[in-house]
């Protein structure tokens, strides 16, 4: 038995990926102790180096907050895989790697001579994940995508927002890059399942992950309702207003969720049992939904006199599900999040020490206290290529001259 400081300390990961899906997947592994070597194209590097937000709003390849977050705890090298020397170094890295994560267009790795069939000859235990918008097969395999399109074609956007008054309001994607992050998480699950099964069968595996499927899987409940009832929910007919209530307060709004009549009764009592609450028009969630236009101002008469935080704490004291609608500033400042130590300080030469979102789940056996900042482009070329793989310094210089690195 081996005592390890972090749950994944024994795993070696190679990442040849850009953007969010692949790098988020390997960040999840790196933050739990896996050694991740990030391979970037010389000169330009990962696309997120050119994505907002930038420290001080100044575009710079080492100052993108998105890149810095996605690449904590990784080592970074540059390699031109189109050159034979670059491809050879890559194959050397694969020899003792456990995991390869790539998210290039279908056929790219094969064209580089680095497809799974080739790599498994070098390392039969390799778990390789290929993440693409639509997968390696099927009629859409070569289609272009982005977060917006992935979210909508996967079925996540059509029903949002759930409570509009007319279908003229277009379907809406979630803020940020939710489709990409969800896909990165799916990849991490599938990779760890393959690593786990490798303990018993010793075999590697190639995972063909389609972002399209990753998003569509999250509509599983609605797919089940469709297959059995043929009903289709849209942005106006969800009936959610009967229990999901978004209400204005003095300084913003709250979200209250009254999943049954008991919760409704509790909420009404907390508001001091106003006369109107006994009205037949509000007797169950269907009637509350149908008479929402009458009900909303009555509720807001009460919530509007209080701050969103006051409403939430008064309701929660009576076990009514209610939360303030926070900005990022407000959630970061909330006493609860501060007490959980969720946000972590990461010190980077270009930004100084600033707060990043911390681990998405607290694992009792993850003892890591600090995070290493994201690598500068090619920062670990010498450490990996010379000290690890045994190339001479003169080889490194030649590679640099030939723009292999």
Partner 1 sequence: MGKLPLEGVRVVDFTQIQAGPQATIWLAALGAEVIKIESNKRPDMLRTYFQLQTSSDDPSLNKSTHFAFLNYSKKGCTLNLTNPRAIEIAKELVKVSDVVAENFSVGVMERLGLDYATLQAIKPDLIMLSISGFGNTGPDKDHVAYAAMIHAFSGLASLTGYIGGDPTPSMGPFWSDKIAAQTGAFAVMVALHHRAMTGEGQYLDLSMSEATLAVLPEAVMDYTMNQIIREPKGNREDFMAPCGCYHCQGEDEWVAIAVANDEEWNALCGAMGNPEWAREERFSDQISRCRNQDALDVFIQEWTVNRGAYEVMEILQKAGVAAGPSVNVEQLANDPHLKERGFFVEMDHPEMGKGLLPRVPGKPIPTPIGNFHPAPSIGQHNDYVLRELLGIPEDEIARLVEDGAIY
**Which residues in the 104-133 window bind partner 1 by CB under 8 A?**
116
Question: Rule CB under 8 A: which of 300-359 touch partner 1?
Answer: 316, 319-332, 334-337, 339-340, 342-343, 351, 354-359
* 188 interacts with partner 1 by CB under 8 A: yes
Neighbours of 275 (CB within 10 A): 7
Q: What angle do CA 207, 213, 219 make, to 5 degrees?
A: 140
Q: Which is nearer to partner 1, 11 or 385 (CB)?
A: 11
Question: Rule CB under 8 A: which of 88-107 touch partner 1?
Answer: none
Cβ proximity of 207 and 187 under 8 Å: yes
| Residue 5 C-beta-side C-alpha neighbours within 13 Å | 9
Q: Which is nearer to partner 1, 62 or 79 (CB)?
A: 62
Q: Which one among 154, 242, 373, 375 touches partner 1, defined by CB under 8 A?
A: 154
As a whole number of Å, the end-to-end CA separation of the chain is 39
* 292 interacts with partner 1 by CB under 8 A: no
Reduce the DSSP state of residue 76 to 3 states and report it. Answer: strand
Q: Which is nearer to partner 1, 97 or 209 (CB)?
A: 209
- 211's tokens: 């972002």
Q: Which one among 121, 137, 273, 370 touches partner 1, defined by CB under 8 A?
A: 137
Q: What angle do CA 247, 249, 250 make, to 5 degrees?
A: 165
Cβ proximity of 334 and 349 under 8 Å: no
Q: Which is nearer to partner 1, 279 or 310 (CB)?
A: 310
Q: Which one among 253, 265, 287, 307 touches partner 1, defined by CB under 8 A?
A: 253
Integer angstrom CA distances of residue 32 from 126, 214, 307, 351, 366: 19, 23, 39, 24, 7
In angstroms, the CA 123 to CA 120 distance is 5
Least separation in angstroms between residue 178's CB and partner 1 is 6
Q: Which one among 106, 113, 115, 171 touches partner 1, defined by CB under 8 A?
A: 171
In angstroms, the CA 211 to CA 24 distance is 13
* Only segment of 102-110, 208-216, 270-278, 289-297 that touches partner 1 (CB under 8 A): 208-216
Q: Which one among 362, 387, 397, 403 touches partner 1, defined by CB under 8 A?
A: 362
Size of the site for partner 1 (CB under 8 A): 154
Q: Which is nearer to partner 1, 245 or 384 (CB)?
A: 245
Q: Phi/psi at 16 (nearest 5 deg)?
A: -120, 75
* Only segment of 79-87, 140-148, 267-275, 293-301 that touches partner 1 (CB under 8 A): 140-148
Using CA atoms of 306, 307, 308, 312 in order, give the dihedral in degrees to the nearest 10.
-60
Q: Which is nearer to partner 1, 234 or 294 (CB)?
A: 234
């Amino acid at each position: 038995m081996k005592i390890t400081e972090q749950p994944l300390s024994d795993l070696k990961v190679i990442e040849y990926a850009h953007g969010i899906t692949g790098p988020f997947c390997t960040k999840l592994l790196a933050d739990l102790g896996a050694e991740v070597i990030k391979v970037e194209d010389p000169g330009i590097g990962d696309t997120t180096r050119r994505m907002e937000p930038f420290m001080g709003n100044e575009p710079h390849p080492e100052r993108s907050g998105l890149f810095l977050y996605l690449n904590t705890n990784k080592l970074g090298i540059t390699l031109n895989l189109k050159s034979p020397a670059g491809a050879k170094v890559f194959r050397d890295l694969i020899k003792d790697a456990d995991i390869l994560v790539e998210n290039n267009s279908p056929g790219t790795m094969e064209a580089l001579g680095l497809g799974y069939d080739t790599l498994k000859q070098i390392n039969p235990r390799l778990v390789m994940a290929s993440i693409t918008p639509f997968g390696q097969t099927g009629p859409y395999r070569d289609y272009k995508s982005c977060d917006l399109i992935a979210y909508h074609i996967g079925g996540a956007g059509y029903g949002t927002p759930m409570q509009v008054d007319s279908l003229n309001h277009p379907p809406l994607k979630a803020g940020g890059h939710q489709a990409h992050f969800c896909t990165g998480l799916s990849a991490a699950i599938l990779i760890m399942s393959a690593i786990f099964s490798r303990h018993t069968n010793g075999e590697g595996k190639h995972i063909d992950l389609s972002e399209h499927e990753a998003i569509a899987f999250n509509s599983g409940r609605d797919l089940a309702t469709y297959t059995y009832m043929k009903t289709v929910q849209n942005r106006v007919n969800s009936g959610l207003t009967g229990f999901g209530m978004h209400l204005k307060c003095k300084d913003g709004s709250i979200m209250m969720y009254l999943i049954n009549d008991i919760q409704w009764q509790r909420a009404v009592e907390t508001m001091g049992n106003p006369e109107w609450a006994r009205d037949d028009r509000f007797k169950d969630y269907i009637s509350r939904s149908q008479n929402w236009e009458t009900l909303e101002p009555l509720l807001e008469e009460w919530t509007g006199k209080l701050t969103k935080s006051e409403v939430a704490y008064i309701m929660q004291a009576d076990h009514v599900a209610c939360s303030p609608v926070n900005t990022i500033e407000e959630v970061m400042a909330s006493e609860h999040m501060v007490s959980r130590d969720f946000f972590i300080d990461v010190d980077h030469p270009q930004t100084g020490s600033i707060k990043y979102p911390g681990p998405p789940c607290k694992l009792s056996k993850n003892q890591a206290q600090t995070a290493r900042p994201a690598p500068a482009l090619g920062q670990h070329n010498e450490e990996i290529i010379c000290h690890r793989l045994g190339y001479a310094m003169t080889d490194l210089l030649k590679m640099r001259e030939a723009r292999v690195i």
